[in-house]
Amino acid sequence: MTDGSDTMLTADQTAAGQPSSGVVAGIKSFAAEHGGAKAVIEYVGKRGARIVLVGSDGAWGDQFAEDTVKAREACAQAGVDVENAWERELMDQMRPSNDLWRSMARRTMAR
């Protein structure tokens, strides 16, 4: 899992209908480290679904599931609430790391 970066993780392949135990464990671990968390699930085509986690302390990270159904089930098993969309309050809570700001600046300067 990442802490405020744009690096993505891939979920393990699992039996039909069940999310990866690694994804569930990753979500639980993130929530425990950051005083709780909320999630937003984003469909990313053939790749599956991205679970963006926002911790109570403003840190954020992500996990990947095979599809949106498994992503929602993984969040439910981990005890993390899923937001329906990116609400202003949730976005205001996010605090990007200095490393992320630097990487975004490099991409802008390279254009």
* Per-residue pLDDT at 6: 43
* Per-residue pLDDT at 73: 95
E strand or H helix at 87, and its extent?
Answer: none
For the chain, the domain total comes to 1
What pLDDT tens digit does each residue of the chain (111 aa) get? Answer: 444 444 444 444 445 567 777 899 999 999 999 999 999 999 999 889 999 898 888 888 889 999 999 999 999 999 999 988 766 776 666 666 666 556 655 555 554
CA distance 101 to 56: 20
Could you list the residue range(s) of the whole structural domain that residue 70 is in? 21-109
Residue 6 lies in a domain: no
CA distances from 68 to 24, 34, 50, 86 (A): 14, 24, 8, 16
* Per-residue pLDDT at 99: 63
Would you state the structure tokens that stand for residue 80, as one six-digit string?
């993390």
Residue 74 lies in a domain: yes
